[in-house]
Amino acid sequence: MVRFLDGTRSKMFILLPFLSTFLLVKSQGNSMNNVETERQAEESHRQDSANLLIFIMLLTLTILTIWLFKHRRFRFLHETGLAMIYGLLVGVILRFGVHVPQSTSDVVLSCAVNASPATLLVNVSGRFYEYTLKGEVSRAKGHQVQDDEMLRKVTFDPEVFFNILLPPIIFHAGYSLKRRHFFRNIGSILAYAFMGTVISCFVIGLIMYGFVSFMKVVGQLGGDFYFTDCLFFGAIVSATDPVTVLAIFNELKVDVDLYALLFGESVLNDAVAIVLSSSIVAYQPAGDNSHSFEAMAMLKSFGVFLGVFSGSFALGVATGVVTAFVTKFTKLRDFPLLETALFFLMSWSTFLLAEACGFTGVVAVLFCGITQAHYTYNNLSPESQDRTKQLFELLNFLAENFIFSYMGLTLFSFQSHVFNPLFIIGAFLAVFLGRAANIYPLSFLLNLGRRNKIGYNLQHVMMFAGLRGAMTFALSIRDTATYARQMMFSTTLLIVFFTVWVCGGGTMPMLSFMSIPVGVDSDQENTSATMLDGSQRRNTKHESAWPFRIWYNFDRNYLKPLLTHSGPPLTATLPSCCGPLARCLTSPQAYENEGQLHDDDDFILNDASVSSMYADVTVSTDASGSRTVNRKRSSTGAGLPDDGFDNELALSENEVAIRGTRLVLPMDDPLDAPTTVTLPPPPSPPKSDPRRHRL
Amino acid sequence: MVRFLDGTRSKMFILLPFLSTFLLVKSQGNSMNNVETERQAEESHRQDSANLLIFIMLLTLTILTIWLFKHRRFRFLHETGLAMIYGLLVGVILRFGVHVPQSTSDVVLSCAVNASPATLLVNVSGRFYEYTLKGEVSRAKGHQVQDDEMLRKVTFDPEVFFNILLPPIIFHAGYSLKRRHFFRNIGSILAYAFMGTVISCFVIGLIMYGFVSFMKVVGQLGGDFYFTDCLFFGAIVSATDPVTVLAIFNELKVDVDLYALLFGESVLNDAVAIVLSSSIVAYQPAGDNSHSFEAMAMLKSFGVFLGVFSGSFALGVATGVVTAFVTKFTKLRDFPLLETALFFLMSWSTFLLAEACGFTGVVAVLFCGITQAHYTYNNLSPESQDRTKQLFELLNFLAENFIFSYMGLTLFSFQSHVFNPLFIIGAFLAVFLGRAANIYPLSFLLNLGRRNKIGYNLQHVMMFAGLRGAMTFALSIRDTATYARQMMFSTTLLIVFFTVWVCGGGTMPMLSFMSIPVGVDSDQENTSATMLDGSQRRNTKHESAWPFRIWYNFDRNYLKPLLTHSGPPLTATLPSCCGPLARCLTSPQAYENEGQLHDDDDFILNDASVSSMYADVTVSTDASGSRTVNRKRSSTGAGLPDDGFDNELALSENEVAIRGTRLVLPMDDPLDAPTTVTLPPPPSPPKSDPRRHRL
């Protein structure tokens, strides 16, 4: 991950080398004996446990309330909003309710330290103790640091967000991406995510620069605020959040295209925002404090952007491909636990590998997730498919709720808030205008090329649903050393609160106001499509641009057979000169099902079902040597509800054994018990147990 | 968790207060500017990622090799032994292969620090930077610390083991405990675990004291080694490891009683060893350096033992009970994700709560796991049952393999090994004798009271299978500051290696040598039991002592109806004065199935099936209001294989819908395809997909 250069702090090191410093030792200096030290260490450990316990309790409370809300079908406050409210409450209690007794005495010792290195070795009579830099303590407080030790303790290291909490969220986003709709709108999504974010970043940056200049004139600014800071602010608040959008739109079952556009944009958005913000920081040349605009540095930072983005992309895809290879060519699927563990470790190693190489781990993890879902997932045993899906779902849920409740907490526990009314007003205005400058012009341009136009009502909803969430928060808390960054952080927090509560809560009224149909099912859409005699199917194909069609054919003919067990075999698609290699790489299952596959393929091309665009035929070999074919996303797949996962992923929950018969199991309404061919038939299958539908 | 007092280090603090110290700042002092600092921070982050990546790669390699071994049915080396070998190899490479360039210059700055506090605040021209104590750096090295920075970096904080890696392992042990066989042998297990471990601890301690005294005379001892150190060593090496025993015996399907005894002992063992070792450390009164034997302090440490153990036990059970209540009285089961998250968080909070209260988190987590499996598990939705089981299985697998590969790594990466041949020989002898003093006398005494005697061949196997593993390692790495502890750590490492490789690998030959039947199935046992006309069933009941029978009735009549949905309703079992309360606490399902339950119960009492001792009838309510009864562990349950989980837990994998028909699905042999009533029938169901057996 590209690390942020902290301008002011770095400058200080240049200006003040070899300054005499003070060591403020927090200890009861009077009777420093073993009992005291042990007691302190134990106390500190207990305190840590208690702090973590606060968060666990917060999450537990959130879960119970979410359940209550879902149970009562109360939809105006999303769970993330709820987590924030609980976090706020606990923050208030910690700030004003709890008073930690201060240490009795402080020993201030002076010695010469030239700077603040990452590691400190303290020599106490021949023994060396290692100390690691934890971070800077609020400068205004000086000697009263003990006051807010409790509050400082509940403030996590910001890197925790980037290294522990964000990766599972982003991986899950990639892994659960509805690839069918995503690929159908790939062009528009890329336009919004890349061009749109850059536009938004610059629009916000320019507006903020205007505001900041005005504030400087009026005398409302308490510190430095450069143009690069404005651009940085633009970059971090341009990232829209996939979490809330996913949850709300999935529950409401809105138009699939709208959903794909918003979700796809917000997922890629995050990646763009990370790389953009770090490029902007790198834009300022080392040792140069001018913060001015320079064409050369601009180009350089654009190069950094491209390099980091493509590097992370390549790494993520590479690990995904390696995992696909391993799961394809070993019989690991006989041991689901091993398989799941391997999948988890490989996905995690993507993050670490990217970080170790200096790329952005989170971006790599996103593309790794997409690759894993597209290839590796098909090689996994059904049990591992379940396991991996559920594991990342759980990790995502926990990490997400943790981040949001932590956000609420930070409003009161963070020590150096700078709330500047003018800046806040400016920021809200800028965020609104930046979003508008992203959506409306791009939609206009895209509509020129799109057959399936993005209507004005959809544009308004996209404008409105640009919530800011976890990524914006994580980017802004990462560095809060300077005045500018502190002001940014406080303002960002307010923007997140506002968008999650107001925009998130108002999405449903907004949808009905814009007369966008809610409760649309993809299978319903397909039913009407069937009546249109396949015309829509062809539309869909034409809709995608030619680069995508080339990619689709390449993927179907070469990549899928290479990385999964699906046909057509490579021996049929590759030129004959590559024969031996192709034979080596094609799995025996692909040969066997060649004929069958061609039938299947024809069926797909003639069928009106949009959902069968990416028909995957997975052939699984079991321990006894027999083979079973899971024909995925054929006409049966079309009957499945849109549950936020791609059908391929959803299949394991609504699995049907297709062997001569085709069953459609519509499960959207729990009260509408489907007639399944089970023996003995359950009188009324519960919603919470989809397995009972299985044959 | 009771923290360890480090004698020597503490002593130093008393003797040398306010000594002048040195600050050895590791930084390139020549040009300390922002670029350097940033570069260093980035470098450090990359290095951390790379180090973690080493472990991930190690684990991935281990997984692939495990698969290969399982695939080829190679059983002489267990996966944990394998993980250790890979760890060893990487340790050798890191030690001798990789050379990290040294920093160009060191700046040694002197200042007065009176001790090594937990937190250090360094004042650099008005800015305060917080440093946290990471630990002591090897004292012998002095200024050459840079040399082994790489090796120090891959050495984790020992508390990571106690706070992150052990809890999931221990929780999983409790959660997957085969409660049926466990409760049948509860008396013997408690005797081995409590009395046996204490006996073993003192026998080892005394033998080691003799050896150490001899070594002192001969002049082979390079530092202090007190009697308390010997006892401490006895405590840490007395903990046998459940991991390897579980894996080997489960795979071999040995006699269920032997399995229950060994597994139950080794699980409770760990808890006893933790509390025992911390009590021994607390035994030495503060400020007293005599390390001599004292009756008063002995009693006090016994009090500490009892207090910590019972406190942790109570806390663990309490959180389990709270979780059972929450899952019973909310309809959280409609949302499996929320339910799983709640279950996970509550289980984790047990650990934190115990740590925050000063009890032992790991012990609390063990009893929490048992309670969760016994009560909460029955309230969960089938999907959550799957999810929680799989989640903890995965966490356990990863943590376990991580610990074992780390063990291998430590042999070369740890800086202060003290290998003393005499001590090592003494330790091996003491461990052997200590185990013998645990097993043989106790077995003799237990056999006086047991109907189902523990034969000599079983005793020999129990003696042989006392492997030392993760817990012994974690306890010994926790404190390696003094000479005595370093020698203990090095010796412990060798003991673990030896027992895992030699005893673990030799278990199968040992079993056949002792003519203990391998491949025994509990259903086979039951089949013969059925022919015995119910006599064995009654035997089993008589076998348990009266306290256990009282507990069983209390549990069945009051606790299960209170905490789960199972009958009989509390209104029937409680005295009439408690009527309103009983009505309030009984779930409506318990009433409805009262009659049915009595039938069921009678059936169980008349049935010869041993497995139906703890018959759980779970009544699930689904969203549509209809009720389904899952009759668990009735005659169907008896037909399920022993897969290391209790049948209750295993049920979800081999689920059968019992609705008038009873099906027996023996799945032990993957090649022996059972005839299941599926539509359409799979020609040969793969082993890796047990769901296909479902109706």
Q: Look at residue B319 and tell me whether its pLDDT is greater than 90.
A: yes
Interface check B315 vs A, CB under 8 A: no
Collect all residues of chain A within an 8 Å Cβ-Cβ radius of residue B37: 10, 13, 115-117
- How much is the average pLDDT of A671-676? 37
pLDDT at position A591 is: 64
The candidate with the shortest Cα–Cα distance to A341, out of B246, B632, B79, is: B79
Interface check B348 vs A, CB under 8 A: yes
Report which listed range, A208-222, B286-300, B504-518, is most confident.
A208-222
pLDDT band at B442 (very low <50, low <70, confident <90, very high): very high
pLDDT digits (tens, 9 = 90+) for A23-50: 333 333 333 344 556 677 777 778 778 8
User: Between these two residues, A579 and B136, which has the higher pLDDT value?
Assistant: A579
User: Between these two residues, A409 and B529, which has the higher pLDDT value?
Assistant: A409
User: Between these two residues, A131 and B399, which has the higher pLDDT value?
Assistant: B399
pLDDT digits (tens, 9 = 90+) for B146-194: 445 666 666 667 777 778 888 898 898 888 877 777 777 888 888 998 8
CA distance B449 to chain A (A): 41
CB contact under 8 A, B33 and A16: no
Scan for tokens 């990789």, then name that residue: B98
Interface check A677 vs B, CB under 8 A: yes
Q: Look at residue B37 and tell me whether its pLDDT is greater than 50.
A: yes
Mean pLDDT value across chain A:
70
Q: Whole-angstrom Cα distance, residue B262 to residue B269? A: 10
Q: Look at residue B686 and tell me whether its pLDDT is greater than 50.
A: no
**CB under 8 Å, gap of 24 or more: what pairs does A96-99 form?**
A98/A150
Tell me, what amino acid is at B151? L
Q: Whole-angstrom Cα distance, residue B328 to residue B322? A: 10
| Helix count and strand count (H, E) for chain A | 33, 6
pLDDT at position A150 is: 62
- The CA-based angle A25-A28-A34, given to 5 degrees, is 105
Q: Whole-angstrom Cα distance, residue B404 to residue B401? A: 5
Collect all residues of chain B within an 8 Å Cβ-Cβ radius of residue A683: 626
pLDDT at position A353 is: 92
pLDDT band at A539 (very low <50, low <70, confident <90, very high): very low
Q: Whole-angstrom Cα distance, residue A517 to residue B150? A: 60
pLDDT band at B541 (very low <50, low <70, confident <90, very high): very low
pLDDT band at B652 (very low <50, low <70, confident <90, very high): very low
Q: Whole-angstrom Cα distance, residue B560 to residue B632? A: 14
Do B76 and A72 contact (CB within 8 A), yes or no?
no
pLDDT digits (tens, 9 = 90+) for B202-223: 999 999 999 888 888 888 777 7
Q: Whole-angstrom Cα distance, residue B360 to residue B170? A: 12
With 0-12 / 13-18 / 19 or more C-beta atoms within 10 angstroms meaning exposed / middle / buried, residue B530 is middle
pLDDT digits (tens, 9 = 90+) for B483-498: 888 889 999 999 999 9
Interface check A26 vs B, CB under 8 A: yes
pLDDT at position A233 is: 92
Treating both helix axes as pointing N-terminal to C-terminal, what angle do A456-464 and A421-449 enclose, rounded to 10 degrees?
150
Do A111 and A21 contact (CB within 8 A), yes or no?
yes
pLDDT at position B573 is: 73
Q: Which two tokens stand for residue B533?
A: 């006309």
Q: Look at residue B430 and tell me whether its pLDDT is greater than 70.
A: yes
User: Between these two residues, A494 and B597, which has the higher pLDDT value?
Assistant: A494
Do B96 and A14 contact (CB within 8 A), yes or no?
no
Element (H, E) at B275: helix B256-283
pLDDT band at A646 (very low <50, low <70, confident <90, very high): very low
- How much is the average pLDDT of B25-48? 57
- How much is the average pLDDT of B429-434? 93
| Helix count and strand count (H, E) for chain B | 33, 6
Q: Look at residue A543 and tell me whether its pLDDT is greater than 80.
A: no
Collect all residues of chain A within an 8 Å Cβ-Cβ radius of residue B691: 382-383, 655, 691, 694
pLDDT at position B124 is: 58
Report which listed range, A94-108, A141-155, A530-544, B307-321, is most confident.
B307-321
Residue of A nearest to B23 (CA): A122
Q: Whole-angstrom Cα distance, residue A227 to residue A292? A: 7
Residues 6 or more apart in contact with residue B581 via CB below 8 angstroms? B574
Residues 6 or more apart in contact with residue A618 via CB below 8 angstroms? A378, A379, A564, A565, A566, A629, A630, A632
Query: Which ipTM score applies to this complex?
Result: 0.73
CB contact under 8 A, B114 and A29: yes
Q: Whole-angstrom Cα distance, residue B645 to residue A140? A: 58
Q: Whole-angstrom Cα distance, residue A129 to residue B231? A: 28
Q: Whole-angstrom Cα distance, residue B265 to residue B257? A: 12
**What percent of chain B clears pLDDT 70, i.e. is strictly above it?**
63
- Most B CBs within 10 Å, among A119, A387, A400, A480, to test the B interface: A119
User: Between these two residues, A501 and A568, which has the higher pLDDT value?
Assistant: A501
The candidate with the shortest Cα–Cα distance to A493, out of A476, A480, A510, is: A476
pLDDT at position A38 is: 63
Q: Look at residue B695 and tell me whether its pLDDT is greater than 80.
A: no
pLDDT at position B464 is: 86
Collect all residues of chain B within an 8 Å Cβ-Cβ radius of residue A333: 688
- How much is the average pLDDT of B315-320? 93
pLDDT at position B154 is: 67
Interface check A338 vs B, CB under 8 A: yes
Q: Whole-angstrom Cα distance, residue A433 to residue A441? A: 12
Interface check B60 vs A, CB under 8 A: yes
pLDDT band at B117 (very low <50, low <70, confident <90, very high): low
Q: Look at residue A463 and tell me whether its pLDDT is greater than 60.
A: yes
- The CA-based angle A154-A155-A158, given to 5 degrees, is 145
Q: Which two tokens stand for residue A317?
A: 């895809």
User: Between these two residues, B540 and A399, which has the higher pLDDT value?
Assistant: A399
pLDDT at position B150 is: 62
The DSSP symbol for A254 reads B
pLDDT band at B118 (very low <50, low <70, confident <90, very high): low
How far are the Cα atoms of A229, A276, A285, A305 from residue A298, in angstroms, in the given order?
14, 12, 10, 10
pLDDT digits (tens, 9 = 90+) for B523-535: 444 434 334 344 4
CA distance A638 to chain B (A): 22
Which residues on adjacent β-strands are paired with residue B24? A121, B108
pLDDT at position B558 is: 80
How far are the Cα atoms of A32, A200, A284, A289, B140 from residue A293, in angstroms, in the given order?
56, 18, 9, 12, 54
Letter string b/e over residues A394-432, b meaning 16 or more CB atoms within 10 A of that residue's CB: bbbbbbbbbbbbbbbbbbbbbbbebebeebbebbeebbe
Report which listed range, A140-144, B87-91, B111-115, B529-533, is most confident.
B87-91
Range with the poorest average pLDDT among A345-349, A648-652, B87-91: A648-652
- How much is the average pLDDT of B607-633? 36
Mean pLDDT value across chain B:
70
The DSSP symbol for B3 reads P
Task: Considering only the beta carbons, identify the residue of B3, B22, B37 that sits closest to A45.
Answer: B3
- Give the 3-state secondary structure of A54-95: HHHHHHHHHHHHHHHHHHCCCCCCCHHHHHHHHHHHHHHHHH
Range with the poorest average pLDDT among A291-295, B366-370, B547-551, B667-671: B667-671
CB contact under 8 A, B32 and A40: no
Q: Look at residue A616 and tell me whether its pLDDT is greater than 80.
A: no
pLDDT at position B207 is: 93
Q: Look at residue B53 and tell me whether its pLDDT is greater than 60.
A: yes
- How much is the average pLDDT of B289-294? 55
Q: Look at residue A638 and tell me whether its pLDDT is greater than 60.
A: no
Q: Which two tokens stand for residue B415?
A: 């800086």
Q: Look at residue B79 and tell me whether its pLDDT is greater than 70.
A: yes
The length of chain B is: 695
Q: Look at residue B688 and tell me whether its pLDDT is greater than 70.
A: no
pLDDT at position A48 is: 79
- The CA-based angle A528-A533-A535, given to 5 degrees, is 90
- Give the 3-state secondary structure of A307-348: HHHHHHHHHHHHHHHHHHHHHHHCCHHHCHHHHHHHHHHHHH
Residues 6 or more apart in contact with residue A451 via CB below 8 angstroms? A539, A542, A543
pTM, to two decimals: 0.74
Q: Look at residue A116 and tell me whether its pLDDT is greater than 60.
A: no
pLDDT at position B38 is: 62
CA distance A36 to chain B (A): 9
Q: Which two tokens stand for residue A347?
A: 């996905």
pLDDT digits (tens, 9 = 90+) for A123-165: 555 555 666 555 555 444 444 444 456 666 666 677 777 788 8
pLDDT at position A420 is: 86
Q: Whole-angstrom Cα distance, residue B496 to residue B246? A: 16
CB contact under 8 A, B60 and A118: no
CA distance B426 to chain A (A): 31
Treating both helix axes as pointing N-terminal to C-terminal, what angle do A295-329 and A336-357 enclose, rounded to 10 degrees?
160
Do A470 and A396 contact (CB within 8 A), yes or no?
no
The candidate with the shortest Cα–Cα distance to B476, out of B670, B234, B244, B261, is: B234
Size of interface A-B (CB pairs under 8 A): 492
CB contact under 8 A, B340 and A394: yes
Tell me, what amino acid is at B282? A
pLDDT digits (tens, 9 = 90+) for B247-261: 667 667 777 788 888
Q: Look at residue A338 and tell me whether its pLDDT is greater than 50.
A: yes
Q: Determine if the peptide bond prior to B517 is cis (ω within 30°).
A: no
pLDDT band at B651 (very low <50, low <70, confident <90, very high): very low
pLDDT at position B3 is: 38
